[in-house]
C-alpha cells in the first residue's frame, strides 16, 4: 500500500481512463489493415465479432468490411471511450465530466450557491439615501454613487 495521500477522484479518473481509452487513429488503421482478422473489433473489446471475422478472414469479405468500417471507427471509438469514462465515473462516484471537455471543476468543490441578492425581492431592495437608486438586497454600498447604505 502506498503511503502517499489519497489522490483526488479526478486523478484516479484520468489514470483509469487513460488505461482503457482507445485511440481513433489506431482504430481506423486496425480496421483498414488488420480488419481482415477483426483486430479493430478486438481493440474495442468486441471479442465475439473479432472471432467471427477471424473465422471468415479467408473469404475476403472481412477485408472488405474492414475497409468500410474504418470510416465508422472514429464514432465507435468515441462511443467506447464515453462508455468507459461513464463507468469509471460511476464507480468513483463522481459526476461525469462534459464529454470532450477537460474536467476543470473539482467534483467535490462547493457549488456556487444561488445568491439570494440577485433575486428580485421587492420588500428588501434598498434605496440609496443620496441618489435614490435602488440597490440589491444586502448591498452595503450604493452601486450608483458608492454611498454607504444604512
Ligand atoms: Zn447612491
**Ligand 1 centroid to 115 CA: how many Å?**
22
**Ligand 1 centroid to 112 CA: how many Å?**
28
pLDDT of residue 113: 54
Any residues with CB less than 8 A from the CB of 3 and at least 6 apart, and which?
A: none
Distances (CA, A) of 18 to 15, 23, 81: 5, 10, 10
Measure CA 1 to chain center.
30
pLDDT of residue 135: 87
Per-residue pLDDT reduced to its tens digit, 65-79: 999 999 999 999 999
pLDDT of residue 122: 47
User: In the numeric block, which cell numbers belong to residue 88?
Assistant: 469509471
**Ligand 1 centroid to 149 CA: how many Å?**
8
**Ligand 1 centroid to 114 CA: how many Å?**
26
Task: Label residue 92 exposed, middle or buried (CB < 10 Å: 0-12, 13-18, 19+).
Answer: middle
User: In the numeric block, which cell numbers belong to residue 5?
Assistant: 495521500
Using 70 as the pLDDT threshold, list the residues of the chain that sit under it: 1-5, 96-123
**Ligand 1 centroid to 61 CA: how many Å?**
80
pLDDT of residue 67: 95
- Neighbour tally for 115: CB within 10 Å: 9
Contact 126, 137 (CB under 8 A): yes
**Ligand 1 centroid to 132 CA: how many Å?**
6
**Ligand 1 centroid to 150 CA: how many Å?**
12
- Entry field: residues in the chain: 150
pLDDT of residue 25: 96
* Segments of the chain assigned E as strands: 126-127, 134-135
Say what the pTM is. Answer: 0.58
Contact 55, 47 (CB under 8 A): no
Amino acid at each position: 500500500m502506498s503511503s502517499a495521500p489519497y489522490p483526488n477522484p479526478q486523478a484516479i479518473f484520468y489514470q483509469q481512463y487513460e488505461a482503457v481509452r482507445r485511440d481513433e487513429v489506431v482504430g481506423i488503421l486496425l480496421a483498414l489493415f488488420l480488419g481482415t482478422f477483426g483486430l479493430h473489433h478486438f481493440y474495442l473489446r468486441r471479442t465475439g465479432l473479432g472471432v467471427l471475422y477471424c473465422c471468415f478472414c479467408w473469404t475476403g469479405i472481412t477485408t472488405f468490411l474492414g475497409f468500410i468500417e474504418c470510416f465508422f471507427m472514429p464514432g465507435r471509438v468515441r462511443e467506447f471511450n464515453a462508455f468507459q469514462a461513464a463507468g469509471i465515473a460511476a464507480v468513483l462516484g463522481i459526476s461525469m465530466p462534459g464529454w470532450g471537455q477537460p474536467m476543470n471543476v473539482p467534483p467535490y468543490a462547493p457549488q456556487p450557491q444561488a445568491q439570494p441578492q440577485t433575486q428580485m425581492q421587492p420588500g428588501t431592495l434598498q434605496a440609496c439615501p443620496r441618489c435614490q437608486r435602488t440597490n440589491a438586497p444586502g448591498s452595503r454600498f450604493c452601486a450608483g454613487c458608492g454611498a454607504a447604505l444604512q
